Structure 1
Amino acid sequence: MQIDQLYNIYKAFPKVTTDTRNIAADSIFFALKGANFNGNAFAEQALAAGARYVVIDEPLYDKGDDYIIVKDVLSTLQDLAKYHRSQLNIPVIGITGTNGKTTTKELLYAVLSQKYNTFSTQGNLNNHIGVPLSLLSIDSRHEVAIIEMGANHVGEIALLSDIARPTHGIITNVGKAHLEGFGSFEGVKKAKGELYDFLQESGGILFLQSDNTELLEMVNTRTFNKIVRYGFSGQNDVIGKLLHANPYLSISWKMKDTTPIYEVSTSLTGSYNSENILAAIAVGLHFDVSPISINMGVEGYVPKNNRSQITKTTKNTVIADFYNANASSMSAALDNMKVLEADRKVVILGDMFEMGDDTYAEHQKIITQAKSLRVDRLIFVGEAFYAQKEPEGEYYQTTEEAKAAVSTIAESFILLKASRGMAFEKLLELL
């Protein structure tokens, strides 16, 4: 079947799914394959659950007119999303970066939604499957779309950019993450820079944190149609200043060469989030959202999913920040603990995953930085931290082993930071 024929079916039944556990009535099921599953084998089950059509790539499973056979289901899903994108005449903002891309996406949504019917990536649908599914969720009601793009290998952002074809783009920052896949920090910059490459070739508009030297170097090797600069120094188009970060962020901001100064208070913690707020302000201004509406959007945003999220338990106040972790985000979280005022501070850190050959060196740097803080307890959890056990601090090989020690903490301000695989929600339950 040709992609335009499939697109006509999609227009009639514009709900797409890849999981038989959440089949919507009259949807199209794409039978994807994985290392441990073959979606083709679930096609009949998808139809029984309410799907109108199933897309398969193994003729063995074909059982009638509601089966659509293609050469490869994944590439067909991507091609359909790309075709759908070509029919949309709306701005599409692509976001990638080592840290802060999800928070930035959500802040952008909060701001742009003040004026426009806005679509944004839901959850973590930011990879070679998630981005096509996100695009296929955009309909004629939407006036602007925000597409988050994640990657752990060189070439992935180029693929996602080719599918989503962003008209505008942001790289929040570049840091040491997924080094196992990228190979090195230079590999990270090359991979994230693929969004810049696309915007350069397509004539797109770039939003740049121009106080970030790494991003500035990456931009200076390319030519863009337009750059909107945001940051904390005077050369930016949107200039911010951190007013308060103890524990919630407040910033002031203004437009270059204008006199009004605006202040906004947030439900975010971590001074590192101030640049994510400025990104949302810069995007809002570019799309003619009023300063008052921009501040309303930022102030109304409440973080969730354990990303820089302050949680008050019966015993403690916890910065729950364990959706993910890498060397740069871990360091920023520790820096933030310096400015927080509390009678008792506790830092609980878990292993950072996918660091490759740099695993032990990067964990050692974090141990050194953490030891320089003035905190009441310092707890390290995970194999990589435990392998470099030092006299100062408490070390546990697993999250389970750390439970007993953590359960005794009370009346403290706690940083809980780790990669998702450490399952630190088990510790949060005890705090």
Structure 2
Amino acid sequence: MSLNLKSLISVLNAKCEGLENDVFIDHISIDSRSLQNGSQTLFFALTGVNNDAHLFIPDLIEKGVQNFVVHYIPKELPGKANFLVVENTLDALQEFAAYYRNLFHFPIIGLTGSNGKTIVKEWLNFLLSPDYNIIRSPKSYNSQVGVPLSVIAINEKHNLGIFEAGISTVNEMAKLEKIIKPNIGVLTNIGSAHDEGFLNLVQKIDEKLLLFKDCPVIIYQKTEVVDSCLTQFAAEYMMHPRKLFSWSFTDKSADVFILKKESKNDHTNIQYQYQNETFALEIPFSDSASIENAISCLLVLLHFKYDQTTIQNRIEMLYPVRMRLEVKNGINNCSIIDDSYSSDFQSLKIALDFLESQTKKNASKTVILSDIFQSGFSNEELYSKVAQLIVDNKINRVIGIGATISSFAAKFPNSQMFQNTAAFIQSIESLNFQNETILIKGARSFEFEEIVSLLEEKTHETVLEINLDAISHNFNYFKSKLAPNVKMMVMVKAFGYGNGGLEIAKLLEHHKVDYLGVAFADEGISLKNGGIKLPIMVLNPESTSFPSIIQYQLEPEIYSIKGLNAFLKIAREKKLKDFPIHIKIDTGMHRLGFEENTIEELIETLKGNSTVRVQSILSHLATSDDPKHYDFVNKQIALFEKLSSRLMNELNINPIRHILNTSGISNFPDSQYNMVRLGIGLYGVSNDPAEQKYLENVGTLKSIISQVRNIPAGDSVGYGRRFMANKETKIATIPIGYADGISRLWGNEVGFVNIKNQKAPIVGSVCMDMLMVNVSEIDCKEGDPVIIFGESPTVIEMAEALKTIPYEIMTSISQRVKRVFFR
């Protein structure tokens, strides 16, 4: 991309300020934190309910960015950069992407549906890449922002595009259709995702079909409801002759009819009828979702007129799609970012931004990178661009693997090159990996999973997977409930509610939250040592920790006269001035805090004191999640208003005030004051079933089957013989137990695990390191994955069965369980 900025003024219907000479741009950005921003970047300052990228423009100008698309020009910045002023910056980004798309005239495949979009996109890329130079959406970039960013990556060397479009409600797809303008449409599985955004299934299908408004070919699974919607759609949009290319398991009138389907050993053999001929096809999967996705790919290949031999040879090589970046603990105090199944230029840019957000304090950054395929650039241009990315992202060491990248070694500072993965593995010990954050990014053919295995810290096979995108989603959900300028404190105490403190804190810092909250000083110290720069409030400081709190610039909650005097004594000894403290008022929780009869003494102690500054006044609601006690909550809020106002008036201060916790944010929106505290909601749990459906699951506890055995009727399982088989029973043993945090009360057929989307009841007592489940009705084997909790069972289900709360389930997971973070 190289575009004259002046040429975009009419495209964006913008007013221009500051632009005098010709300026050329080669990079579009919406992320102020990206190290890839530079002098030829055009930055779109997007705004949302609680986000305004205009606030970061001064920092960007300092870093050399000179070109901005804005809704308004921030004060004191006119004349300091080039500004294109528009009505709405998101609309402008989409208009720019639509303009850019129309500069190219090769075929575009557009995908939409509820499920399977990303998998079908990646599989089509694999199936068609031997014959085309493909540009595709990176990762799952299918949103109102993701689609324009995907399309903007097109260059002159591409000759086929594959883009996915995702929507969550009405009036969204028309904008994406203008940007993608597909020539071939693929409608994947229509499921329940985003049902809440539509009146009914028909409305959802109608909205998705708008992607294909001008599309000559639509590929889809033939069903009565989809056919009905397509009939109406065709009547409304008769722009030109349109081909409907359908498939079905049940309807013989479909263009491709699946005559037979047999699954065995994780493979499925199908027979299908097409143009009055019958063909056989082996699909290397047995689950229904993968089979449907493979059939969608089959129809695309048939549309492209591939012969049956080529179709079979390529489809039998399909592979599980990794749609995420994973953060894992590595050897020698390293962190591993595992992106070992893809290597293209766009996803490299995304991975490098993620690397920056996850790098520990003082850790060096290393990239292990294979040859890059399908960039659309010549090798010379491609590796020049990659080398510049490496420099821009301040990468300390590059390890290239592959003949092509090795031939451009001179372009990369501090690099080591290997012809293949085997050569790298032979030299791995001499490379001395330690105290590094290592991005491992390679094309599938390089088998970089072997490198991940060698560099990953060895732990047992039970892991807690943390979805960082789900945390971002939940954070933004609650932030959208806040009035403008209300600050957000997020609680990361108790090891991030069992999910991992530092990694989540880094993500929250990336989101520019205002405060982090921890329970004890050592939690805050750990975050500071990990490089966190956000203000951190310590909610339960012990007086013995005050020197450390001061040393690490933490901010203590003060809840008693005794504690205040102890802190003031140390503060005077250290000759502090205006050190921030937070005053806790007890409004009825009766746990910690100044009660009403101690406010007078508190005021007298603080009056005229210059060693500390009251940064905030807070209290805590006892029953904000229980409608039966809302009257009590209102009394708490009224008392907080009274006592905090008195403190402010008599001390002549204007601190932050905050009383709302997660359920308070949702249930008492009129009491947000200057800040709210988000806790369990960030981790995907709400006490309100209506709200729960808007939150995403964050933590999934996984293990595997260690052993499967059949026991006869009359035999028992586990300690105390608490399970007695009344018939021959198939038992699977899972390597997780109460030492990992699974309550013994969850055993003896109270609880279950999930194997192949089926419930497997826990039988007998939960042991220290393992538990046993009944898998008599499940086709499973040793090594198969097991979900202990996540989507099913949820921590809410477990808590209800155990008569406890989700907090306890989550925070009980032992530190010996490895945490894997992914996006």
TM-score (normalised: structure 2): 0.39
Aligned in 2, Cα 1:28/1:192: closer, same or farther, shift over 3 Å?
farther
Residue 300 of structure 2 aligns with an amino acid whose one-letter code is V
SS at match of 2:110: strand
Residue 41 of structure 1 aligns with an amino acid whose one-letter code is L
Aligned in 2, Cα 1:141/1:253: closer, same or farther, shift over 3 Å?
farther
Match of 2:48 in 1: 34
Match of 1:279 in 2: 296
Match of 1:80 in 2: 96
Residue by residue, what CA displacement relative to the aligned partner does 1:384-426 show, whole Å, maximum 9, x if unpaired? 53586499xx99567625735996xxxxxxxxxxxxxxxxx94
SS at match of 1:163: helix
Contact 2:263 2:269 in 1 (8 A): yes
**Would you say 1:191 and 2:207 are equivalent positions?**
no
Aligned in 2, Cα 1:163/1:239: closer, same or farther, shift over 3 Å?
same
Aligned in 2, Cα 1:5/1:194: closer, same or farther, shift over 3 Å?
closer
For residue 152 of structure 1, report the CA deviation from its aligned partner: 1.2
In 1, the alpha carbon distance for the partners of 2:314 and 2:221 equals: 20
Contact 2:73 2:83 in 1 (8 A): no
Which deviates the most, 56-65 or 141-150?
56-65
Please give the residue correspondences for 1:9-48 in structure 2 after superposition, counting only pairs within 5 Å.
12-22=24-34, 23-25=36-38, 26-48=40-62
**Would you say 1:230 and 2:265 are equivalent positions?**
no
Residue by residue, what CA displacement relative to the aligned partner does 1:363-393 show, whole Å, maximum 9, x if unpaired? xxx9xx95598638975554653586499xx
Which residue, out of 256, 259, 263, partners 1:244?
A: 263
Match of 1:3 in 2: 11
For residue 127 of structure 1, report the CA deviation from its aligned partner: 0.9
For residue 109 of structure 1, report the CA deviation from its aligned partner: 1.5
**Would you say 1:303 and 2:294 are equivalent positions?**
no
In 1, the alpha carbon distance for the partners of 2:140 and 2:22 equals: 23
Aligned in 2, Cα 1:176/1:260: closer, same or farther, shift over 3 Å?
closer
Unaligned regions of 5+ residues in structure 1, if any? 328-340, 349-365, 408-424
> What count of residue pairs does the alignment treat as equivalent?
369
SS at match of 2:68: strand
Contact 1:231 1:238 in 2 (8 A): yes
For residue 428 of structure 1, report the CA deviation from its aligned partner: 9.4
Aligned in 2, Cα 1:122/1:45: closer, same or farther, shift over 3 Å?
same
In 2, the alpha carbon distance for the partners of 1:236 and 1:385 equals: 42
Residue 59 of structure 1 aligns with an amino acid whose one-letter code is I
Residue 95 of structure 1 aligns with an amino acid whose one-letter code is L
Please give the residue correspondences for 1:28-427 in structure 2 after superposition, counting only pairs within 5 Å.
28-49=42-63, 51=65, 53-60=67-74, 61-182=77-198, 184=199, 186=200, 188-197=201-210, 199=212, 201-210=213-222, 212-223=223-234, 225-233=242-250, 234-240=252-258, 241-244=260-263, 246=265, 248-252=266-270, 254=272, 256-257=274-275, 259=277, 261-266=279-284, 268=285, 270-298=287-315, 299-305=317-323, 344=732, 370-371=758-759, 375=775, 380-382=792-794, 385-386=797-798, 389=801, 400-401=810-811, 403=813, 426=819
SS at match of 2:320: coil
In 2, the alpha carbon distance for the partners of 1:315 and 1:272 equals: 30
Residue 302 of structure 1 aligns with an amino acid whose one-letter code is P
Aligned in 2, Cα 1:88/1:428: closer, same or farther, shift over 3 Å?
closer
Contact 1:107 1:280 in 2 (8 A): yes
Residue by residue, what CA displacement relative to the aligned partner does 1:85-112 show, whole Å, maximum 9, x if unpaired? 2222122222111111111111122122
SS at match of 2:99: helix
Aligned in 2, Cα 1:306/1:253: closer, same or farther, shift over 3 Å?
farther
For residue 207 of structure 1, report the CA deviation from its aligned partner: 0.1
For residue 133 of structure 1, report the CA deviation from its aligned partner: 1.1
Aligned in 2, Cα 1:389/1:382: closer, same or farther, shift over 3 Å?
same
Contact 2:795 2:810 in 1 (8 A): no
Residue by residue, what CA displacement relative to the aligned partner does 1:351-374 show, whole Å, maximum 9, x if unpaired? xxxxxxxxxxxxxxx9xx955986
Aligned in 2, Cα 1:383/1:235: closer, same or farther, shift over 3 Å?
same
Which deviates the most, 95-104 or 294-303?
294-303
Contact 2:41 2:66 in 1 (8 A): yes
For residue 33 of structure 1, report the CA deviation from its aligned partner: 1.5
SS at match of 1:285: helix
Aligned in 2, Cα 1:162/1:370: closer, same or farther, shift over 3 Å?
same
Aligned in 2, Cα 1:390/1:4: closer, same or farther, shift over 3 Å?
closer
For residue 245 of structure 1, report the CA deviation from its aligned partner: 5.5
SS at match of 1:139: coil
In 1, the alpha carbon distance for the partners of 2:320 and 2:22 equals: 35
Residue 30 of structure 1 aligns with an amino acid whose one-letter code is F
Contact 1:95 1:170 in 2 (8 A): yes
For residue 2 of structure 1, report the CA deviation from its aligned partner: 1.3
Contact 1:249 1:274 in 2 (8 A): no
In 2, the alpha carbon distance for the partners of 1:160 and 1:382 equals: 34
In 1, the alpha carbon distance for the partners of 2:180 and 2:205 equals: 15
Which deviates the most, 229-238 or 79-88?
229-238
Residue 218 of structure 1 aligns with an amino acid whose one-letter code is C
SS at match of 1:55: strand
For residue 128 of structure 1, report the CA deviation from its aligned partner: 0.9
In 2, the alpha carbon distance for the partners of 1:10 and 1:229 equals: 51
In 2, the alpha carbon distance for the partners of 1:51 and 1:17 equals: 10
Contact 2:173 2:211 in 1 (8 A): no
SS at match of 2:167: coil
SS at match of 2:775: coil
In 2, the alpha carbon distance for the partners of 1:11 and 1:169 equals: 37
Contact 1:252 1:264 in 2 (8 A): yes
Ranked by relative contact order (alpha carbons within 8 Å, sequence separation 6 or more), the top structure is: 1
Aligned in 2, Cα 1:395/1:256: closer, same or farther, shift over 3 Å?
farther
Which deviates the most, 122-131 or 159-168?
159-168
Unaligned regions of 5+ residues in structure 2, if any? 1-8, 15-20, 235-240, 326-340, 342-452, 471-683, 685-691, 694-706, 710-731, 737-753, 762-773, 777-785
For residue 151 of structure 1, report the CA deviation from its aligned partner: 1.3
In 2, the alpha carbon distance for the partners of 1:245 and 1:48 equals: 61
Contact 2:112 2:188 in 1 (8 A): yes
SS at match of 1:403: coil
SS at match of 1:2: helix
Residue by residue, what CA displacement relative to the aligned partner does 1:26-45 show, whole Å, maximum 9, x if unpaired? 22211112333321222343
Contact 2:147 2:163 in 1 (8 A): yes
SS at match of 2:813: helix
Aligned in 2, Cα 1:265/1:406: closer, same or farther, shift over 3 Å?
farther
SS at match of 2:247: strand
Aligned in 2, Cα 1:158/1:399: closer, same or farther, shift over 3 Å?
farther
In 2, the alpha carbon distance for the partners of 1:296 and 1:269 equals: 18
RMSD of aligned alpha carbons: 4.5
SS at match of 1:21: coil
For residue 294 of structure 1, report the CA deviation from its aligned partner: 3.7
Which is higher, the Rg of structure 1 or of structure 2?
2
In 2, the alpha carbon distance for the partners of 1:113 and 1:221 equals: 35
